[in-house]
Structure 1
Amino acid sequence: MNDMVLFGLLGPLRVRHGGTEIDVGADKPRTVLTALLAAPNTWVPTEAIIDAVWPHARPPSVRDNLKTYVWMLRGALPGRIEGRPGAYRILVDDHELDTRLFEHSYLEARRLLASGSPAAATTRLRAALRLWRGEPFTPLDSDHATTEAARLRELRWRSREALTDSLLATDRAGEAIRELQAMLAEDPLRELTWYRLLVALDLDGRRSDALAAYHRARHHLRTELGVEPGRELRTVYQRLLITEPALTG
């Protein structure tokens, strides 16, 4: 395989070698490349690629067009794209995909946090989250890409929650609170995120704000889901009401 290339899939497709952007063509060849990178080192059926590039109407010359786009991509990325009857695949290493780098950094940060190294975990998590530039696999529209993008978005959320845990463990409650508030502005139905916010506010000496946050959480859950807060959230609320010492989670 040729020198390392970084393929950016956590947002619009970006391909770089060193600090230089590699031109991989206009929209359709970029979609072909994204479809291949969504299943790296795996034979992707020609029909699946065609469906991704032409989701609505196929031109009569669709197969010739696809061959042209693959030829263009092979010129931009020598030695990377292989073909066989009815399928193509792209050869990449895990460390060349920002999706894999993100997952590896998240798992390593979790290990660091569990082993009592929250400062190192914070550094890892911030680096992992900086890899995100937008929606994964843009502009690819396929069942596989949709499923994988949803999985990665959930992992990003967990990374942000883990970041707040590492910040709290290093006495940086204010930073954790700001991150949790930003997360809940995006999705106010995450009970565990509300739980973390209540704990962080209490650790920051803001018990009245923590109680108010519980009532906001309850309002969202009742209004939008028709349910009451779960046991964990109710328990932390009760502990706040009896003014125990600052919660530790």
Structure 2
Amino acid sequence: MEFRVLGTVEARRDGRRIPLSGAKLHTVLAALLLAREEVVSDERLSRLLWGWTPPATMSAQIYTYVSRLRKMLGDEIRIDRRPPGYAMAVGHSTVDVTEFERLDHEGRAALAEGDFDAAAELLRAALEQWNGLPFANATEHLADAEAPRLMEARVAALEHRVTADLALGRHEQITMELTGLVAEFPLRERIRSQLMTALCRSGRRADAIHLFHHGRAVLAEELGVDPGEELQATYQALLDGRLDRQPPAVPAQRAVRPAPKSGRRHAAPEMLPPDTADFTGRARELDLVCRALAPDAADRPRRVLVTGMAGLGKTTLAVHAAHRCRRDFPDGQLFADLRAPDGSPQHPGRVLLHLLRALDAPDDGAGADDLDELVRRYRALTRGRRLLS
């Protein structure tokens, strides 16, 4: 069977649509699909069906919807009652949102490795899973709860696909598409930067300059802020004449980084603590961290700060995200506990020495007590390397 939620909610068997009637039945199906065989509680189903004003017969109505789904979907789909709710097993069926996320992840990995042809193809295939606004025939409560997350993932996939297309020299082919995207998302600075790049490389430098100033005015009027670092950098490259340079030919596989000037090769450090196999409950935060760590077109350093009260699982979240994104950092992953076993803060010098040893720095004792020297050595060893720390 085939299930769709990236557009109207549908179930298809052998290419034929199974007739499901009513927004509420589509809502129950979509909620169970999004849970990926995990339990969806009666309370959550009620919230997605009726918002904050459920009927007195809430449980009976949910039972009725589930029973109707069981009958319509047949024996190959199992919907089990597991207190406090229901769980659905789809077996070998395909779900468009799962396919989208798989292709998107593979496309980003190819992009990070410099395989722009594969990245463009994979990300284009991911975007082809979409057929309109998600949950178009479900309740507004479900759309309000889940659609923004999926729409953000779609636009991010678009941005990454455009990055691959620009690297392949397809600026003229995508200019029209980017113009429409800027009109649709006027506050997304990366899309504006990409259109500026495409215009400049197509010989339309004046249009690219106008696009930047228009974007600056929109940001000031709507949000009261100046353009961010990426948009400013693109504008400066435009003024300097660096933006109109055609991208160099790139081999399909990621190029091997040159050895340091000393001629000594450094093994990639792998300092991450073990991953948590049963990580649950932080899907939104995990997605935000992973997207923030994803490489951009300029491959600039990214910084992510995870904050919160003690005991909320910040370190677990960070470590899990690091394991998920480690392919984007082929030169290694660094980890340091900033607190001593007794709970007191670690001295910065001890932390830096720990990281320098992981980076295979000579342990000759020179400058071990000089914090500035340790910082200088750390910067020298990490410069130009794609490290996660």
Do they fold alike, i.e. is TM over 0.5? yes
Offset of 1:95 from its aligned partner?
6.4
Residue 66, structure 1, aligned to residue 62, structure 2: yes
Offset of 1:244 from its aligned partner?
4.5
Offset of 1:108 from its aligned partner?
0.9
Please name the residue that 1:20 is paired with. 16
2:30 aligned to which of 28, 31, 34:
34
Q: Which whole-Å CA distance do the structure 2 matches of 1:30 and 1:88 have between them?
A: 15
Amino acid aligned to 1:109 = G
Name the % identity: 37
User: Which sections of structure 2, spanning at least 5 residues, go unmatched?
Assistant: 248-297, 299-389
- The alignment's C-alpha RMSD in Å is 2.4
Residue 10, structure 1, aligned to residue 6, structure 2: yes
**SS of structure 2 residue aligned to 1:83:** strand
Offset of 1:191 from its aligned partner?
1.6
Map residues 131-150 of structure 1 onto 2, 5 A cutoff.
Answer: 131-138=129-136, 139-142=138-141, 146-150=144-148
**SS of structure 2 residue aligned to 1:156:** helix
Offset of 1:151 from its aligned partner?
2.1
Give yes or no for contact 1:24–1:72 (8 Å, CA) kept in 2.
Answer: no
Q: Which whole-Å CA distance do the structure 2 matches of 1:111 and 1:39 have between them?
A: 25
Please name the residue that 1:237 is paired with. 235
Offset of 1:147 from its aligned partner?
4.7
Amino acid aligned to 1:73 = L
Give yes or no for contact 1:95–1:101 (8 Å, CA) kept in 2.
Answer: no
CA shift in 2, pair 1:93/1:101, >3 Å: farther
CA shift in 2, pair 1:171/1:33, >3 Å: same
Offset of 1:190 from its aligned partner?
1.4
Please name the residue that 2:187 is paired with. 189
Q: Which whole-Å CA distance do the structure 2 matches of 1:58 and 1:244 have between them?
A: 59
Give yes or no for contact 1:45–1:87 (8 Å, CA) kept in 2.
Answer: yes
Offset of 1:175 from its aligned partner?
2.4
Residue 75, structure 1, aligned to residue 71, structure 2: yes
Please name the residue that 1:46 is paired with. 42
Offset of 1:63 from its aligned partner?
2.8
Q: Residues 71-128 of structure 1: CA distance to partner in whole angstroms, max 9, x if unpaired?
A: 1111112242101343111112586221111011111111222333322222222221
Q: Which whole-Å CA distance do the structure 2 matches of 1:232 and 1:125 have between them?
A: 22
Please name the residue that 1:162 is paired with. 160
Q: Which whole-Å CA distance do the structure 2 matches of 1:128 and 1:159 have between them?
A: 8
Q: Which whole-Å CA distance do the structure 2 matches of 1:149 and 1:31 have between them?
A: 12
Offset of 1:48 from its aligned partner?
2.2
> Would you tell me which structure has more helix in proportion to its own residues?
1
Please name the residue that 1:175 is paired with. 173
Please name the residue that 2:111 is paired with. 113
2:209 aligned to which of 187, 195, 211:
211
What is the count of residue pairs matched by the alignment?
Answer: 244
Deviates more, 1:55-64 or 1:105-114: 55-64
Give yes or no for contact 2:179–2:195 (8 Å, CA) kept in 1.
Answer: yes
User: Which sections of structure 1, spanning at least 5 residues, go unmatched?
Assistant: none
Higher relative contact order (CA 8 A, sep 6+): 1
TM-score by length of 1: 0.86
Q: Which whole-Å CA distance do the structure 1 matches of 2:213 and 2:173 have between them?
A: 22
**SS of structure 2 residue aligned to 1:132:** coil
Q: Which whole-Å CA distance do the structure 2 matches of 1:89 and 1:236 have between them?
A: 48
**SS of structure 2 residue aligned to 1:234:** helix
Q: Which whole-Å CA distance do the structure 2 matches of 1:29 and 1:245 have between them?
A: 51
CA shift in 2, pair 1:235/1:155, >3 Å: same
Amino acid aligned to 1:50 = S
Map residues 90-105 of structure 1 onto 2, 5 A cutoff.
Answer: 90-92=88-90, 96-105=94-103
CA shift in 2, pair 1:31/1:68, >3 Å: same
Q: Which whole-Å CA distance do the structure 1 matches of 2:8 and 2:243 have between them?
A: 47
Q: Which whole-Å CA distance do the structure 1 matches of 2:100 and 2:107 have between them?
A: 11
Q: Which whole-Å CA distance do the structure 1 matches of 2:80 and 2:206 have between them?
A: 62
Q: Residues 125-181 of structure 1: CA distance to partner in whole angstroms, max 9, x if unpaired?
A: 2221121122323424457x6454322211111111111112112221022322222
CA shift in 2, pair 1:245/1:75, >3 Å: closer
